[in-house]
Amino acid sequence: MDNRSRKRAFILFAVFGILVLLGPYGDSRVSAVDRSTYKSLKTFSEVLDMVEKNYVEPVDTEKLMQGAINGMIKSLDPHSMYMTAEMHKELEVETRGSFGGLGIEITILKDVLTVVSPIEDTPAYNAGIKAGDQIIKIDDVSTKDITITEAVKKLRGPRDTKVTITIMREGFTKPKDIVITRSIIKIKAVKTKIYDNQIGYIRIATFQERAVEELKKALREITTKTNPLAGIVLDLRNNPGGLLNQSVEVSDLFLKSGVIVTTRGRTPGMESKAVAKNDGDEPTCPIVVLVNEGTASASEIVSGALQDNGRAVILGAQTFGKGSVQTVIPMEGGAALKLTTAKYYTPKGRSIQAEGITPDIAVKQIRPPEDRNGND
């Protein structure tokens, strides 16, 4: 091994050693590192050295390192990812600005790009995209081995431009192409209706930053227009989630006391518990919560909180099962690591991740004929 290779190997060992010892948060606690870890790092350095010397064409070492890091993080779960400085900056811009999109939440499920849920009144919803649809191509390019970040980048684009996604759905005999026109996604979080002058129906499409404010307004309107309010139907079907604080506050609007959700991680700093407080104006009527396969994340927190506290009957199909917490950890040079650091648990200690919420009353959704043959 020449001096250049030795130097690189030394740096690799030093950097990886610091990461292993200190952990991703720079924690001062030191953990033991077994011999196999050092052996693996040595193997990694040797492989990198052989590739640099013997590959048929000159290689970009930085690109190789990027690939190695991506492969390591990808092996954890679909939601963890390493972001270069450019990707991190793009993420920050997207969270502040508006962009053209389809209105779907996606994930990687069993190595396949899958729709968690379409958001109501968005291009994807209006085009007939459904929870559980597998996206096998985007603009005729296979999504095999694609990451969520890459998929989002392909699906987003300027307003009024078109994108073609090829989907497979349970019951389809062949894939189906769906052309969707991108639009600026503006969502009305809460919609209401009143049935028989005494039943309040509340539809929450997503847990965006105004969800609680809109829900409070809806509850006031329903209470004023009904006499008495005999019951509330809370519709969380195809709600892909959103902000954790909004789901906690929504749950609190219906609960006088009790745990709402518990967050547990590997480090003590990731453990937390949200508890309901009695504001004196919580509805006292019976509540039914409607859920389905597209009910995910924050909407599962609300469903689980109301179910475990005995405040509502959950009706519908098993929910999606997305109950993990991602933390963005800034790194030197503007890069960042988006890492799954905790999981959500219902008041009775049930894990939401990969399990979802089981309804008290199961109702299987009947799909229309076109959903069963893949043709219009």
Q: Which residues are annotated as catalytic?
A: 297, 308, 322
Which one, of 34, 4, 96, 26, lies nearest residue 331 by Cα? 26
Q: Which amino acid is at 139?
A: D
Q: Return the residue matching tokens 């506290």.
A: 309
For residue 135 the two structure tokens come to 């996206």
- Residue 307's contacts (CB-CB under 8 Å, 6 or more residues apart) are 289, 314, 346, 357, 360
Q: Which of 369, 365, 354 is nearest to 323 (CA)?
A: 354
Burial class (CB in 10 A: 0-12, 13-18, 19+), 66: middle
d(CA 80, CA 232): 38
Which residue bears the tokens 């062949």?
Answer: 174
Alpha carbons 200 and 224: distance in angstroms, whole number: 11
Question: Closest Cα partner for 182 from 159, 154, 153?
Answer: 159
- CA gap 97, 295 in Å, rounded: 26
- First CA to last CA across the chain, in angstroms? 64
Which amino acid belongs to residue 128? G
Query: Nearest Cα to 112, choosing from 133, 141, 81, 140?
Result: 133
What is the dihedral angle through the alpha carbons of 128, 129, 132, 138, rounded to the nearest 10 degrees? 140
Residue type, position 96, single letter: R
Query: Could you give the maximum distance between any two Cα atoms of the chain, in Å?
Result: 85
Q: What angle do CA 113, 115, 120 make, to 5 degrees?
A: 155
